[in-house]
Amino acid sequence: MSSDRVTLEVSERGAEQVGSRRVRRLRKEGLVPGVLYGKGSTRAIVVGERELRAALTGASGLHAIVDVVVEGQTTPHHAVLKDFQRHPIRGTITHVDFHEVRLDRPIQATVAVQLVGESPGSKQGGIVQQVTREIQVEALPTGIPEHIEADISSLEVGGTVRIEDLPSLEGVTYLDDPQVVLANCSIPRGITELEEAEAAAAAEGEEGEETAEGEASEEAGAESDSE
């Protein structure tokens, strides 16, 4: 759960730090531009990339409650990560958005689904495929799970695991359709076609043997009559 609290000190961006050229300069200095969306207000902020990365890689990951402290102020802004962008090559964070929240009011969030257990169908040659990797939930900011586990230990060939099969978590509401498929298990098409072809060949072989036996019996009968 995201009950872990992280303090993150940020500075407000002035007019001289707004604009693509100035933002690029900030990034070269190891700073990340961002926005803090609050109650009726929006603040342009800047934060150290190292400090930001440390805040978002704790036990609660991207669902941590971040106490954003603006330079020159003492009252923290309780916030959650709303969005972030990464550099396509270096992978560093290039922009971040925080959304201020009240800890006593539920929020909606996207949570990753992790498959746990071993599917019996996989032991029979089936392939387990995860169809849905994230779902929408609603909970208090401190109750958003880091991830949700979907148990596949009863997943047979031809079976599915749906949202309705997920465990109930106290204080957490699943917002997506209960019938949404999270995972399934099926025999690869190529293997199925091969098995069908082998079965057809075996059936033809049996037919051929029966025909040959019948012809041999008829020939033996004909020879007996001629004698």
CA distance 225 to 227: 5
Does residue 103 have a pLDDT over 60? Answer: yes
Which residues have CB under 8 Å from 95's CB, separation 6+?
32, 33, 34, 84, 85
Please state the rounded mean pLDDT for residues 123-132.
Answer: 94
**What is the dotted CATH code of the domain comprising 107-186?**
2.170.120.20
Homologous superfamily in CATH for domain 5-100: Ribosomal Protein L25; Chain P (2.40.240.10)
User: What pLDDT, on the 0 to 100 scale, is given for residue 23?
Assistant: 72
Q: Tens digit of pLDDT for each residue in 50-100?
A: 889 888 887 667 788 899 999 888 889 999 999 888 888 888 888 999 999
Domains 5-100 and 107-186 share a fold: no
User: What pLDDT, on the 0 to 100 scale, is given for residue 219?
Assistant: 55
CA distance 224 to 7: 103
Please, which pLDDT band fits residue 174 given cuts at 50, 70 and 90?
very high
Question: Domain residue spans in the chain?
Answer: 5-100, 107-186, 188-227
Give the gyration radius of the chain's Cα atoms: 31
User: What pLDDT, on the 0 to 100 scale, is given for residue 171?
Assistant: 95
Does residue 170 have a pLDDT over 70? Answer: yes
Please, which pLDDT band fits residue 205 given cuts at 50, 70 and 90?
low
- Check: CB of residue 45 under 8 Å from CB of residue 34: yes
Please state the rounded mean pLDDT for residues 221-225.
Answer: 53
